[in-house]
Chains A and B, each alone.
Chain A
């Protein structure tokens, strides 16, 4: 039965996240945009808040750490953790993307643990706040080319290398580090390792100053003879050249719709607010008549809304597929590509439409236009998503369509 509305059973999640966004994030949004690198002390309370919401039974397993592919739905259609997490993230990012990225225990590393860890590891790492460290100074989008190494020494893995752009890298309790077991074996040799904060040899060497999401810390980390227990390798240590990247890449099928949700959220914030400001100038939005007989600004608002809906519905589709155990790599990338580029366009256009008011710090519009840019970059740039989608549609291997 085709029905593409928010299900009733998830409205509570949406409402709760919206309340957090409205009453916790928005009031401190500008404050932490200005005070970059200050630790938002409200976040500890937020962690408690999230736990409270969970304990109260309201959130029904929403959250990054609950993301996993469903098991195939025999007993009817499922609207589960992937969809509720996307919907929750949409609301939180309507409040503030940077703060949403700083919610304790909701790091991307947590998604990796959920996707790749075995049962024993899931138990051991329950409740940690895990950041994700993939990018290196010499390897961004071509993550197969990372240089950080891991070698087994007795019962310990020894990690050496340098990681940059680690979101929540200085705040999280642990960092999931991508490292290669053998640089000559390419993708298949890349594994992920959980490195607890305070492990000797792991050091946060700098925090980046950024254009947007300034409330979120972005760290550079060095690993020098950094020793962790053997059991902290996620998944298997076997190097299966046929399976290649699929292990570590699995995470992305679940997280990309969540990043799409960030775009959906911040774009809605901008669109709603621009509409409010424009309404004061007598600009109405009416869904009737020829688009070209309208004032240019009304037509533009409608066009943006249509594009925004496309990003939102693609996000819901990808999440729905994950919840129902349907392979969704293409759709996850489509949702991320569309929602992110649309979010950037919309937030920038809303500044433009609102003129000096939109551009000034009196409103949050200019902040959202700065925040939105990163969404089209992290977790796979627009161009990487297009590559993935094109390879899937054309049936090409990464060696053919490079």
Chain B
């Protein structure tokens, strides 16, 4: 920042002077335009040299303990990410898309779905080697790509698969030794231990920063009270990561066992995302040990609050990635449909009214993708991303639904009936604006 300021001063001062020269009627009257131009040339050259020199001098020397990243604008995936992407895309095409309709009908994933998903290694690739996983280093971008690719298969099934992955991510980022040792092995073994994240609450205008669910200290324990909404695999989960407001400290996460006294789960079928077995989680004075706070008792300090808001950002990027994946599926479906559908003697895609809707879907899909990727990239670069994640959420909330409704419109009556998947996507894309939590990268 100082660096820029100095350069700005070096440049700005010079330019202000040059502009005054340019503006001077005297220069013109005295026929000095040419001289003035030479002066400006030399002045600008000097200013530029000085600024370039200042930039070089002020550039921080790379600290030797960390390899410096190139820090160039870059849209390429790493080799590992590309490999993961190829695998997940095949999974989305071969397993998820064919299963989507039935899973939506019966409000739950196929029996072996979560097992098959865990065999792909996505969970292992999300846990660092030092914690028993297979990842060289964890990456928010990698997690985001997983969400995008799975949601391209089916958003409801993706939600079912990403919910335990989010639980794992939370343990990796903010869990303490004891919590990791206790929970990670079972999640990694493919034991099919179902875990889920519960942040969203059922009230209108929900804000993850002002939770109604509370966690009050009683002795060395906490007592949780409140309700959570749209929780994936709610009736199967052995563990929940519950967000609750700790009086005077702010929101924190708690690890709560599914069979703890006072935990009540009811089905909560919704407009979409049905295949994730949505449930409402009621916490009626659920007593958990003090060590159940994610990160341990140390999390009561300010870092715990930062971790919580970090999770909120990571949740927004995750849902943004879901919007991108499902919207991509929709575009990929609408294009051949509009090319094949004949009306008035030619494909409907030959009409601008139709073609422009396709173009707009393409533009807004790419817009969403850029904002989501950027926020994730900032997390990996260790930069703040509250603004970027919030803007990504704002854009995706609006554009995802616009794409959903236009998708149905493009198919007309065919889009409205269940012979085609577009009506599922329409119902699912409504969730993007609703879900502000329950997942995290």
Contacts and interface: CB of A to CB of B under 8 A. Distances in A.
A290 B70 contact: no
Interface stretch (B3-11, B128-136, B267-275): B3-11
Interface in B1-19: 4, 7-8, 11-12, 15-16, 18-19
A9 B72 CA distance: 8
A267 to B, nearest CB: 14
Given A77-B70, A394-B338, A401-B349, A24 B381 contact: no
Contact of A16 (B48, B335, B392): B48
B182 interface: no
Given A55-B45, A57-B49, A337-B363, A28 B390 contact: no
Contact of B373 (A2, A52, A76, A391): A2
Interface in A16-54: 16, 18-20, 22-24, 27-28, 41-42, 44-45, 47-54
A49 B356 contact: no
Size category of the A interface is: 35 or more
B352 interface: yes
A27 B19 contact: yes
B209 A289 contact: yes
Contacts of A28: 19, 23
Contacts, number: 266
Contacts of B15: 19-20, 23-24, 49
Q: Which of B16, B69, B367 has the largest number of chain A CB atoms within 10 A?
A: B367
B381 A3 contact: yes
A8 interface: yes
B37 A15 contact: no
B359 A389 contact: yes
Given A52-B45, A390-B358, A395-B339, A306 B363 contact: no
Overall SS of chain B's interface:
helix
A1 B73 contact: no
Contact of B74 (A8, A50, A77, A393): A77
Given A45-B18, A52-B44, A394-B349, A307 B395 contact: yes
A349 to B, nearest CB: 15
B138 to A, nearest CB: 14
B40 A79 contact: no
B362 interface: yes
A317 interface: yes
Contacts of B331: 393
A317 B75 contact: yes
A401 B355 contact: yes
Given A48-B44, A49-B44, A338 B398 contact: no
Given A23-B19, A45-B36, A15 B72 contact: no
B86 interface: no
B115 interface: no
Contacts of A290: 205-207, 436
B391 A77 contact: no
A309 interface: yes
A387 interface: yes
A23 B16 contact: yes
Contacts of A4: 73-75, 370, 373-374, 377
Contacts of A57: 48-49, 52
A313 B11 CA distance: 27
A5 B294 CA distance: 32
B355 A313 contact: no
A354 B18 CA distance: 33
Contact of A42 (B22, B43, B76): B22
B8 A3 contact: no
Interface in B323-340: 331, 335, 338-339
A317 B52 contact: no
A334 B362 contact: yes
A128 B332 CA distance: 46
B266 interface: no
A12 B58 CA distance: 12
Nearest to A18: B8
Contacts of B96: none
B284 interface: no
A279 interface: no
Given A27-B19, A48-B41, A288-B386, A5 B378 contact: yes
B192 interface: no
B367 A338 contact: yes
A209 interface: no
B224 interface: no
B44 A2 contact: no
B376 interface: yes
A198 interface: no
Contacts of B360: 386
A142 B167 CA distance: 56
Interface in A184-239: none
Contact of A3 (B73, B352, B362, B397): B73
A302 B335 CA distance: 32
5 contacts: A49-B18, A57-B48, A57-B52, A287-B391, A306-B391
Top-3 shortest CB links A-B: A56-B48, A52-B44, A310-B367
